[in-house]
Structure 1
Amino acid sequence: MKYIGTNELRELYLKFFESKEHLRLGSFSLVPKNDKSLLLINAGMAPLKPYFTGLETPPRKRITTCQKCIRTGDIENVGKTSRHGTFFEMLGNFSFGDYFKEEVIPWAWEFVTEVLQIPKDKLYVTIYLEDDEAFDIWSKKTDIDPKRIFRLGKDDNFWEIGVGPCGPCTEIHFDRGEGPISNVEDFLKASDEDRIVEFWNLVFTQFDKDEEGNYNRLEHPNIDTGMGLERIATIMQGVDNIFEIDTVKNILGKVSKLANVAYGADKDKDVSLRIITDHVKSVTMMISDGVQPSNEGRGYVLRRLLRRAARHGRLLGIKDLFLTEIVASVVENYKGAYPVLEEKQEYIEKIVSLEEERFNETIDSGMNILSDYIEEMIASKENILKGEKAFKLYDTYGFPIELTEEILEEKGMKVDKDAFKKEMEEQRQRARSARGETSYMGNDEKPINKIESSVNTKFDGYGKVELKSNIILLADENEFKEVIVKGEKAYIVTEKTPFYAEMGGQVGDKGYIITSTGEAFVYDTKNNIGGKIIHYVEVLNGEIKTNQEATLKVDARRRKNIARNHTATHMLHKALKDVLGSHVNQSGSYVDDERLRFDFSHFQALSLEEIEKIEKLVNDKIMEVLNVGTEVMTLEEAKNSGAMALFDDKYKDDVRVVSVGEFSKELCGGTHVINSGEIGLFKIVSESGVAAGIRRIEAITGINAMRHMEEKQNLLKEVCAMLKSSEKDIIKRISQLNSELKEKDKEIAELKKKLTQGSENDILDSAKDIQGIKVIAYEIDGVDANSLRDLGDKLRNKIGTGVVVLFSNVGGKVNLVSMATKDSLDKGIHCGKIIKEVASVVGGGGGGRPDMAQAGGKNPAAIKDGINKVYEVVEALLK
């Protein structure tokens, strides 16, 4: 067989289907759009679901793609098997009500046998048990031997996910072995033994499964195919493992070199090498599509993969940060297909580096917690760590169970592995049950999300805030309606509208819809999952009917304030690039009539000087009264013009470019001011971090910015009055008062010290003798935790054999400290246990070592009860 490289395979496939009149689209983002059923895109057809459902009209009825995908359902098997990976590419060709089985089956056979030149005696085909049509096409329209076609049941050859579009499928398989397979039983046995490898699935979407389980025939059936690029590459390159195909092998070689570990020499180390290779590939792709590390959703998937890779680096003996070097290898091998990787390489590496550093700190925290667990086990004479504690280390701190076992083994201890596995399984079950059976798109099955693609709505509000149009649809939460009446909350769809639907960070417009029979307040405007503009309304008077002519009035003042903030957001973006550097890119934004919020890539907090520079630059450009212009151009023209954008799949062929003079140029569909002077004033009110490598600026403009400045001025006047100072002398006055306060604090500290020193004899005299142990339990008012510790230490040195427990009421809260002499520990004294029991009496909690412990509480009124509890606990410990 002919050797074909992975990148060449991708191109051969896409070019083949272009020759069959398919539109080639680039890979969609790994982040699903309008699809709540998925955290991440996990199949080639997933981003195209709106086209299959008819909610959106595809750019062409025939499409072909190579789609980036992430699947983490079998993450524990990654690296252990030859085919499991979290990141993969899915080659696909799709028909939306155009061609069907008669065309796609012969094309598939042509591509496999003529383009790839796979020998026909190495190929088998499976079809759905009842699909006679597919059998006839295979046996009559291709030259496959009918004996090489096997009929299988629903589990193998019928595709469905929950409710929605579904149908039978046919799969093409490659035979790695020798000799013919003559029956279904032998075929299935060969599949189980990995002799037979399925590499291309052609799904015939001809049914729509409803919630009652009925399979209703689709009027226009679709074709959805999927071929795993890595899997076909293993076949064409004559290898048995996805980690041995050219592109992946190059990355694995880099990992191997960094770890100084030869691949193939040690089975366990090979698993770690493969895990690092796969996970860093996934992480690189996810970050390039805008996913950020976090503790929930897709951000948690990213963090988990990254930490798992870092952990296996440690298992291989890599002590320094190393993941960014693997990222560079991923970029090198995939930049041809995905140029965005090279464009964002520096940014991806920075995110990975920050997260790896954070993990190293976390794993050190895990070591400290494990040390505490070991101390507790020694004190209580136990040698098995509870499963839930081991799981907490693993789940919360990313601490490897293998490392926990290794450290415990050195101490002659072990983990309750069965309880740990039980905790793991319970977590998996929680994750599974949280998803349940979902609708096809995972969205609410509201009428507004079922509007057919043939219904058109048009936004006509860039230059106007009022127009007349016909009402074409009315609906509530449950059904489409002919009329809505006073008091009802509902949805109105019109042919055209001046109301801007929430998009690109800009909130939806508010206003009124008025007909001859009624009036409704529009409290929000949004797009449904098919991109139709929906007015969210409450009927104020009368009734509103379908097919009525309506006057649509946007709240003009609110719109203008939103426009000020939106244009200012563009100017802020450019100012950030000018002041901080070209690495700055928009990560998210929010614009309403009160304020603007802008998230951007940057790796440290902004200095006061930087914030002032950014603010000044924006205000200078506002004062220049720059013209704000818009122009529609092709995506390629926009890129060449220098317009700022992430240029992902959300942009169509023709885009709208908004320019603020020569200063800023950006792709945008939102509403803007006519010139920068209308913004009036720009003021940054906060700057903060929201994720690793992501900063956030909040700002205000126009009248809101003026009010903010007035409030600050009034506050300054009040402060001056209280401090009896003029504005120009206020810093000097505050500095003077600080010096005076420091002197007072020093005097108070000295007085407290003398007070506690003077009390030492009284405290020592209060000691009780319990079975030969001196026990001090004493209350001293107004002493902070540090002073209380110092006093406890002095008393312990003077007491002989005994234990000291001190209480202090400071500002309505209780400070507690317990200290014991070494010889008292042999008799059973344990400060950690004492403090734990006593703290609960005063409304708190805490613990510590046998010889020293501290805690806090919220109930000073219970201190006397706490003192009595000390004697009770000590007596119990001594028994």
Structure 2
Amino acid sequence: MNAQELRSKYVEFFKSKEHAQIQGKSLIPENDPTVLFTTAGMHPLVPYLLGEPHPAGNRLVDYQKCIRTGDIESVGDPSHLTFFEMLGNWSLGDYFKEGAIKMSFEFLTSPQWLGIPIEKLGVTVFRGDEIVPQDDESAKVWKELGIPAIRIAYRPREDNWWGPAGATGPCGPDSEMFFDIGKEPCGPDCGPGCSCGKWLEIWNDVFMQYNKTADGVYEPLARTCVDTGMGIERTVTILNGKKSVYDTEIFAPIIAAVEKASGYTYGSDPEKDKSVRIISDHVRASTFILGDPKAVTPSNVGAGYVLRRLIRRAVRHGRKLGIEDQPVENLKVLSPIAAVVVDQLKGPYPELEENRARIIGELDNEEQKFLETLQKGEHEFEKLLPNLIKDPRKIMSGRLAFKLYDTYGFPIELTDELAAEQGLTVNRAEFDEAFKKHQELSRAGSEQIFKGGLSDHSETTTKYHTATHLLQRALRLVLGDHVAQKGSNITAERMRFDFSHGAPMTPEELSKVEAIVNEQIQRDLAVTMAVMDLEAAKASGAMALFGEKYESQVKVYTIGDFSKEVCGGPHVERTGTMGTFRIQKEQSSSSGVRRIRAVLE
């Protein structure tokens, strides 16, 4: 079964169980400052899991693009990816453990669907602790379905518990499904959930049945929810009996494009094979980030920094394959690989085709910039060389190596290579220490930037979210109808709003916009919501985010006689509660896009 068949079957199965298919959302989370990218299928649904009604109903199914970079150093092994697709189904106060587990079991084992032999399945359930009891309810359902007790493992909180997203909020135990690949057990305690490689996780049912309070108390929720997730790449690997996600049809055309660009034949050398896999993953991830309706571009901060790091790692691993030895006309290496990703996935993700030119242009531009960086770094190294060679110990200090990295963006691996060519070694311990200190400072800065997530500061972030609607309308009144939201980011301390406009705003324009927003706040306008179909919403004059995917039924928020937008929320009930709006800064975000930073006081 290939990825497209799995995607279709999953949606078809849950539609047959009365689930409404909803659209996957952007890779750039809307108004959630706690993460840079959408990291799981449930991420865009958090407001609905927290209690907001969903316009499509209380049984939902979708597929969602996700990015996770926490394990970037593991990419290239059999299972780790930075970009992946999640299949998900949700119950919002409808069925609970028994219903979810029975549907999961049917989809996995029924010959009509995936047809996995029952003897190949194992499951884990929450073991319980001094705070929350053991999840015997889930174990009982699995036993009734025919999973023997020996293949039902009770696991601790770190393995089988989800949430809350912030310090407080909905959370609960989960039950995970594993496939036995047939390896010998690693010992007498080997069972589902063991990390020895015998058991591969393919699905996870999360049961949100508690609310964690600020006092650390777990109160039972009156409205329980189910959130499930199945990774497409990993499941396709299992269904096809492959040992690695990179051995599936998902990656075959991408790897072929890397072979064509490099002249290297995959399978010839384990170390170079790893570079091929890293290039394949990183170009795929970069293509989806650049092809997103709310695309970020390579930069030195936030999501743009992650994108830059993915692109530059791909270029660096291209050098390891000898790509720089290819003819000059071949040196735009990444964009032809990205074109293959677009061709392969433009069906389920039409935004890739719509944004093909941007994807290609940005990759070419960033690749060229990095090659110039490498040349600069090599030049700086050559300037240091006469003094380095004089050192009888033939050791280059880690401090100097870090300066090349920090000042010129020159990768430590390349410093190692250049040093080795001259019979020198780099003091890596000293470099690692400097790098670690740099990371800690960066992390501290990030925590400052991103502290105060949506879950922990719902009242404040709700005010800021409502302010983005007032700001967009005010900008259109002052600058013109070409203005459209290109992204936003909200913390408990401020809001950031990106919008299409080709020139810096004048002080007079900024002053007018600020005055208009404050006038609407002082008018204490009522904020109302109606559910309607998308065409009716557009016909009524509601603004919708260009390029965003919407369900057939949408929520339309109207702010008095001033603003009307398609939006998922959350919003204040009246504008008079919002305080005073003040613009702190207006600057360029990217080509043709401006950025406003503002506060409510």
TM-score range with shorter-chain normalisation? 0.7 to 0.9
Q: What one-letter code is carried by the residue in structure 1 that aligns with 2:471? A: Q
The alignment's C-alpha RMSD in Å is 4.0
Take 1:169 and 1:379, find their aligned partners in 2: how far apart are those partners?
62
Q: Which residue of 2 aligns with 1:448?
A: 459
Q: Which residue of 2 aligns with 1:270?
A: 273
Q: How far off is 1:363 after superposition?
A: 1.3
Q: 1:441 to 1:41 in 2, by over 3 A?
A: farther
Contact 1:586–1:600 (Cα < 8 Å) also in 2: no
Q: Which residue of 1 aligns with 2:157?
A: 154
SS, match of residue 35 in structure 2: coil
Q: Which residue of 2 aligns with 1:366?
A: 377
Q: How far off is 1:85 after superposition?
A: 0.8
Contact 1:51–1:58 (Cα < 8 Å) also in 2: no
Contact 1:331–1:341 (Cα < 8 Å) also in 2: yes
* 1:2-401 matched pairs, under 5 angstroms: 4-55=1-52, 57=54, 59-79=56-76, 81-114=77-110, 115-129=113-127, 130-140=134-144, 142-161=145-164, 162-163=166-167, 164-177=169-182, 185-187=189-191, 191-289=194-292, 290-319=295-324, 320-378=331-389, 383-401=394-412
Q: What one-letter code is carried by the residue in structure 2 that aligns with 1:122? A: K
SS, match of residue 256 in structure 1: helix
SS, match of residue 503 in structure 1: helix
Take 2:395 and 2:555, find their aligned partners in 1: how far apart are those partners?
64
Q: Which residue of 2 aligns with 1:646?
A: 546
SS, match of residue 223 in structure 2: strand
Contact 2:56–2:551 (Cα < 8 Å) also in 1: no
Q: 1:424 to 1:143 in 2, by over 3 A?
A: same
SS, match of residue 247 in structure 1: coil
Take 1:563 and 1:434, find their aligned partners in 2: how far apart are those partners?
34
Take 2:451 and 2:552, find their aligned partners in 1: how far apart are those partners?
24
Contact 1:569–1:598 (Cα < 8 Å) also in 2: no
Render the CA deviation track for 1:84-122: whole Å, top value 9, x for unaligned: 111011111111111100100100000000110011111
SS, match of residue 174 in structure 2: strand
SS, match of residue 174 in structure 1: strand
* TM-score, length of structure 1 as denominator length: 0.54
Contact 2:30–2:487 (Cα < 8 Å) also in 1: no
Render the CA deviation track for 1:244-272: whole Å, top value 9, x for unaligned: 12122221121122111111111111111
* 1:557-568 matched pairs, under 5 angstroms: 564-565=477-478, 568=479
Q: What one-letter code is carried by the residue in structure 1 that aligns with 2:59? A: R
Q: How far off is 1:315 after superposition?
A: 1.7
Instruction: Find the partner of 1:425 among 419, 433, 436.
Output: 436
Q: How far off is 1:646 after superposition?
A: 2.6
Q: 1:248 to 1:301 in 2, by over 3 A?
A: same
Take 1:91 and 1:352, find their aligned partners in 2: how far apart are those partners?
29
Q: How far off is 1:425 after superposition?
A: 3.4
Q: 1:288 to 1:137 in 2, by over 3 A?
A: same
Name stretches of at least 5 consecutive residues in structure 2 with no aligned partner: 128-133, 325-330, 489-496, 504-530, 557-563, 568-585, 597-601
Q: How far off is 1:365 after superposition?
A: 1.4
Take 1:303 and 1:160, find their aligned partners in 2: how far apart are those partners?
30
Contact 1:150–1:183 (Cα < 8 Å) also in 2: no
* 1:684-695 matched pairs, under 5 angstroms: 690-691=589-590, 693-694=591-592
Take 2:221 and 2:452, find their aligned partners in 1: how far apart are those partners?
17
Contact 1:307–1:398 (Cα < 8 Å) also in 2: no
Contact 1:501–1:507 (Cα < 8 Å) also in 2: no
Contact 1:151–1:184 (Cα < 8 Å) also in 2: no
Q: How far off is 1:688 after superposition?
A: 10
Contact 1:9–1:233 (Cα < 8 Å) also in 2: yes
Q: How far off is 1:638 after superposition?
A: 9.1
**Does structure 1 residue 506 correspond to structure 2 residue 509?**
no
Take 2:461 and 2:336, find their aligned partners in 1: how far apart are those partners?
47
Q: How far off is 1:210 after superposition?
A: 2.6
Render the CA deviation track for 1:15-59: whole Å, top value 9, x for unaligned: 111111112112110111121211111111111111111256453
Q: Which residue of 2 aligns with 1:569?
A: 480
Take 2:485 and 2:450, find their aligned partners in 1: how far apart are those partners?
32
Q: What one-letter code is carried by the residue in structure 1 that aligns with 2:99? A: E
Instruction: Find the partner of 1:415 among 416, 419, 426.
Output: 426
Contact 1:234–1:241 (Cα < 8 Å) also in 2: yes
Take 2:114 and 2:310, find their aligned partners in 1: how far apart are those partners?
34
Take 2:595 and 2:72, find their aligned partners in 1: how far apart are those partners?
37
Q: What one-letter code is carried by the residue in structure 1 that aligns with 2:219? A: N
Q: What one-letter code is carried by the residue in structure 2 that aligns with 1:121? A: E
The number of residues matched between the two structures is 522
Q: What one-letter code is carried by the residue in structure 1 that aligns with 2:83? A: F
Contact 1:259–1:313 (Cα < 8 Å) also in 2: yes
Contact 1:6–1:245 (Cα < 8 Å) also in 2: no
Q: How far off is 1:329 after superposition?
A: 0.7
Take 2:150 and 2:460, find their aligned partners in 1: how far apart are those partners?
47
Take 2:455 and 2:152, find their aligned partners in 1: how far apart are those partners?
41
Contact 2:21–2:62 (Cα < 8 Å) also in 1: yes
Report sequence identity in percent: 39
Q: Which has the larger radius of gyration?
A: 1
Take 2:362 and 2:461, find their aligned partners in 1: how far apart are those partners?
40
Take 2:223 and 2:498, find their aligned partners in 1: how far apart are those partners?
45
Contact 1:394–1:401 (Cα < 8 Å) also in 2: yes
Render the CA deviation track for 1:134-160: whole Å, top value 9, x for unaligned: 1111122x2333332222222222223
Q: How far off is 1:169 after superposition?
A: 1.0
SS, match of residue 26 in structure 1: coil
- Structure with higher strand content: 1
Q: Which residue of 1 aligns with 2:506?
A: none
Contact 1:43–1:69 (Cα < 8 Å) also in 2: yes
SS, match of residue 259 in structure 2: helix
SS, match of residue 34 in structure 1: coil
Name stretches of at least 5 consecutive residues in structure 1 with no aligned partner: 452-490, 492-499, 509-558, 574-584, 590-595, 606-631, 657-666, 671-686, 699-879
Q: 1:502 to 1:222 in 2, by over 3 A?
A: same
Q: 1:248 to 1:383 in 2, by over 3 A?
A: same
Contact 2:34–2:453 (Cα < 8 Å) also in 1: yes
Q: What one-letter code is carried by the residue in structure 1 that aligns with 2:264? A: V
Q: Which residue of 2 aligns with 1:793?
A: none
SS, match of residue 167 in structure 1: strand
Q: Which residue of 2 aligns with 1:770?
A: none
Contact 1:92–1:224 (Cα < 8 Å) also in 2: yes
Q: How far off is 1:695 after superposition?
A: 6.0
Q: 1:435 to 1:101 in 2, by over 3 A?
A: farther
Take 1:440 and 1:430, find their aligned partners in 2: how far apart are those partners?
15
Q: How far off is 1:318 after superposition?
A: 1.3
Take 1:400 and 1:24, find their aligned partners in 2: how far apart are those partners?
45
Q: 1:361 to 1:599 in 2, by over 3 A?
A: farther
